[in-house]
Structure 1
Amino acid sequence: MRSIVIEPEYEAWRAAARRLLAEGVAPEEVLWVDDAREGSLFVQEEAAAMKAVQAGGAVKVPPAFLDMARSAAAHTDARRWGLLYRVLWRLTLGAERHLLAMATDRDVRQLQDWCKAVGRDIHKMHAFVRFRLVGTDDATGREQFVAWFEPEHRIVRLAAPFFEKRFAGMDWSILTPYECAHWDGTRLHFTAGVPRSSAPDEDALDDLWRTYYRSIFNPARVKISAMQSEMPKKYWKNLPEASLIAGLIAESTQRVQGMLETEERVVKPAPNNAYLKALHAMNGTEAADGTQESGTP
C-alpha cells in the first residue's frame, strides 16, 4: 500500500495522480491522506513515486472529467481523492472512455452528488458574503473591505473569481475557516484559513444593508419555508439584515391588510412622446383594434 500525502487542493491531487498513473499504480494500492499532520500514521510514499513523469508517459483524459474533478475536489468528504483516482484509472488505463456517460455507475453518481453540493455552496457564498469597510489604502486611495463566510466545503478558489470580477474596484479579503481569498486590484491570492475572531463585526454598511432589505421585503410574498431553504438559518448570524427578518415576518399580516385597504391609484396615461412612440413601433405594440398605439390618452 502506498500512502500519498497531499495538500487538500485539486492541483495537489492532480500532480500526484499523474505520477501514479504514469507508473501504473492501481487505485486499490493507494491510500490518500489530505492532511500532512496525519502523514506519520502511514507508511511514507516511496521516493520513486515523487519523480517527475516522463513526457512519454502522458495519457489523454476527457476534459469533462477534469471539470468534474476540480469541483468534486472542493468537497470535504475524505473519500474524494481515492474515488477521483479510481475514476481516472477507469477512464484511461481501464479503457472505460465513456464512463462519465453512465449515469447509473456508482462512482459517477457519487462524483455528481459531490459536484452538486459544491455548486450549491458556491451559490450560497456568492449570495451571502457581506463586506465590511475596514479602512483606506494611503498609497492608492482604494477602500479596503473584509468579509467573513463559513462554507460547508473548500470552495474559496472556485467562488473567488466572481468577487474578483464584481468588486474589482476595491481591495477586499474574504476570510473562511478553510482558506482566505485576497484581491488588491491586480492580483488574486490565497492564504490559510483563520478563526471567526479575525473578521470585523460591524460597520456603517450594515445599516445600509438593513435599510435596503427592509425596502425590498414584500410581506405579500412571504413564504417562510422557501425563504429558509434559500437562506438557511446557519448563515443568518453573519448577515446584518437577518436581525430584521423575525420582526418583518411578524408585521407581514398587518402590512398586507394595509395594502389591501389602500385605494387604487389612478393610472396615469402614457405621455405623448415621440421617443416612446418609436419604441412602441419597434416592439410592435398595437391597440386592441389592430392599429398602432399612439401613446396618447
Structure 2
Amino acid sequence: MVTDDATLVIELAGPTDWAGFRQACRVLLAEGVPPEQVRWRWGTADDHDAGDPVATPAAPAHADLFSANASASVTGRALTPRDLDRVPLRADQRPLRLSREQLRTLQGASLHRDAGRFELCHRWLHRTHADPRLRQDVLDADWRQLERMAHAVGRDIHKMHAFVRFRPTRRPGEPDLQVAWFEPAHHIVLAAAPFFVRRFANQRWSILTPDLCVAWDGEQLQTAPGARRADAPPADAGEALWLAYYASTFNPARLKDQAMRREMPRRYWANLPEAVLISTLVQQARARTGRMLNDAARDGPAP
C-alpha cells in the first residue's frame, strides 16, 4: 500500500493511452490509492506537466509493487499499467460499473489538452467508487468539468473532419499521395482518423499534425511522430480551381457573419485555402446586399 507521504508514478504508453489508464485505475481503485498520491505521465515529450518526473527509473521487480522502499516512499518509481496488473486483487473487491455514456465522456475527456485530465478522471472515479450514488449526480463539479472537456474534444474532432484540406503529391511509379496539414486543439488525431479511412478508402493520404501524423496506404492506418507545417506540400493549380469555385458559389444574400465565425473559428483559417478569400468576400457581400436593398427600396413594391 502507498504510504501517506508517497507518490505513485504511472507511466502510460502515450498522451492518449485510454486503455492503459483504465487498466491502471482498475488496480488503483481496488487498492484505494488516493488520487492525490498518483502522478500520470507518458513516454513522449507531449504536454508534460510542469515538474513532471520525466526521467524517473522503471520500477524494480518487487513482489509487492505498492511496498515502500528504504526511505518509506515510492516517489520516483514509475510503474506501467502492466506492472500494476501484477498486483493480486482480493476476490471481494467491488467493481465500479458505469454506463456506456459515462465511459464515452471519460474517454473523450482523456483526449483533452489539459495536463490534469487523467488526474481529474481518476479523482471522479475514486470518489464514485467510494460513493456509487455519484453516478447519478449530473451536477457534480468534477463530472461537469469532464463533460465540458469531452464536449470540447468532440467539437475539435468535428472541426478536423470539416477543415482538413488535402493537396496532391506526385510520386514516380506510385499513386499520388494526398497530404494535409492540421493543427488540432486536443489529442484527437487517432480518434478522428477512422472518418478519413472510410471517406477516402481508395486513396493514399497522410495527415500531418504537430502531435502525430497518420497515413493510409489503402490497407492499414500507420502513425508517425509529429511534423512541421513546412513538411506539407505547397498550393498547386488544383487549389486555384477550388478557390475559383468557392468564390463563384458564395451567396452574399445568405451570409451570416457571426454564425460563420462560430462554426469556422479564426484559429482554423491558416489551414484553409479558401480562408484567403473570406474577408474580401464578406466585405463584397455586405456591399452587394446593401445595393440590392437600395435598389429594392427605389423601385418600390412589385405591382
TM-score (norm 1): 0.77
Q: How many residues align?
A: 259
Please report how far the alpha carbon of residue 36 of structure 1 lies from its aligned counterpart in structure 2 after TM superposition: 5.2
Question: 1:32 — aligned with what?
Answer: 40
Question: 2:70 — aligned with what?
Answer: none
Please report how far the alpha carbon of residue 4 of structure 1 lies from its aligned counterpart in structure 2 after TM superposition: 1.7
Question: 1:4 — aligned with what?
Answer: 10
Give the Cα–Cα distance (whole angstroms) in 1 for the partners of residues 173 and 233 of structure 2: 20
Give the Cα–Cα distance (whole angstroms) in 1 for the partners of residues 213 and 239 of structure 2: 22
Please report how far the alpha carbon of residue 110 of structure 1 lies from its aligned counterpart in structure 2 after TM superposition: 0.6
Give the Cα–Cα distance (whole angstroms) in 2 for the partners of residues 243 and 46 of structure 1: 49
Question: 2:85 — aligned with what?
Answer: 52
Q: 1:171 aligns with which of 187, 204, 207?
A: 204
What is the root-mean-square deviation of aligned Cα atoms in Å?
A: 2.8
Give the Cα–Cα distance (whole angstroms) in 2 for the partners of residues 47 and 71 of structure 1: 22
Please report how far the alpha carbon of residue 202 of structure 1 lies from its aligned counterpart in structure 2 after TM superposition: 1.2
Please report how far the alpha carbon of residue 60 of structure 1 lies from its aligned counterpart in structure 2 after TM superposition: 4.6
Q: 2:163 aligns with which of 128, 135, 147?
A: 128
Is contact 2:11–2:81 with CA below 8 Å preserved after alignment?
A: no
Please report how far the alpha carbon of residue 2 of structure 1 lies from its aligned counterpart in structure 2 after TM superposition: 0.9
Is contact 1:19–1:49 with CA below 8 Å preserved after alignment?
A: no
Give the Cα–Cα distance (whole angstroms) in 2 for the partners of residues 151 and 52 of structure 1: 33
Higher relative contact order, structure no. (Cα contacts within 8 Å, ≥ 6 residues apart): 2
Q: 2:97 aligns with which of 61, 66, 79?
A: 61
Q: Residue by residue, what CA displacement relative to the aligned partner does 1:92-111 show, whole Å, maximum 9, x if unpaired?
A: 3x141x53431210110010
Give the Cα–Cα distance (whole angstroms) in 1 for the partners of residues 43 and 80 of structure 2: 19
Question: 2:151 — aligned with what?
Answer: 116
Give the Cα–Cα distance (whole angstroms) in 1 for the partners of residues 101 and 80 of structure 2: 32
Give the Cα–Cα distance (whole angstroms) in 2 for the partners of residues 193 and 132 of structure 1: 18
Question: 1:289 — aligned with what?
Answer: none
Distance verdict in 2 for CA 1:234–1:107, change over 3 Å: same
Q: Which moved more, 1:232-241 or 1:49-58?
A: 49-58
Question: 1:145 — aligned with what?
Answer: 178
Distance verdict in 2 for CA 1:35–1:76, change over 3 Å: farther
Question: 1:76 — aligned with what?
Answer: 113
Give the Cα–Cα distance (whole angstroms) in 1 for the partners of residues 81 and 123 of structure 2: 21
Please report how far the alpha carbon of residue 58 of structure 1 lies from its aligned counterpart in structure 2 after TM superposition: 8.7
Question: 1:209 — aligned with what?
Answer: 242
State the AA in 2 paired with 1:52: D
Is contact 2:211–2:226 with CA below 8 Å preserved after alignment?
A: yes
Larger Rg: 1
- Equivalences for 1:213-228 in 2 at 5 Å? 213-228=246-261
Residue 177 of structure 2: SS of its match in structure 1? strand
Is contact 1:2–1:31 with CA below 8 Å preserved after alignment?
A: yes
TM-score (norm 2): 0.76
Q: Which moved more, 1:252-261 or 1:30-39?
A: 252-261
Q: 1:16 aligns with which of 24, 34, 38?
A: 24
Please report how far the alpha carbon of residue 255 of structure 1 lies from its aligned counterpart in structure 2 after TM superposition: 3.5
Is contact 1:19–1:50 with CA below 8 Å preserved after alignment?
A: no
Residue 146 of structure 1: SS of its match in structure 2? strand
State the AA in 2 paired with 1:196: R
Identity %: 42
Q: Which moved more, 1:198-207 or 1:57-66?
A: 57-66
Question: 1:280 — aligned with what?
Answer: none
Q: Which moved more, 1:76-85 or 1:201-210?
A: 201-210
More helix per residue: 1
Give the Cα–Cα distance (whole angstroms) in 1 for the partners of residues 114 and 252 of structure 2: 40
Please report how far the alpha carbon of residue 145 of structure 1 lies from its aligned counterpart in structure 2 after TM superposition: 0.5
Q: Unpaired runs of 5+ in structure 2? A: 1-6, 46-52, 57-74
Q: 1:90 aligns with which of 112, 115, 127?
A: 127
Give the Cα–Cα distance (whole angstroms) in 1 for the partners of residues 218 and 260 of structure 2: 35
Residue 170 of structure 2: SS of its match in structure 1? strand
Residue 40 of structure 1: SS of its match in structure 2? coil
Distance verdict in 2 for CA 1:36–1:155, change over 3 Å: closer
Is contact 2:10–2:80 with CA below 8 Å preserved after alignment?
A: no
- Pairing 1:186–2:222 present: no
Please report how far the alpha carbon of residue 234 of structure 1 lies from its aligned counterpart in structure 2 after TM superposition: 1.9
Question: 1:238 — aligned with what?
Answer: 271
Residue 240 of structure 1: SS of its match in structure 2? coil
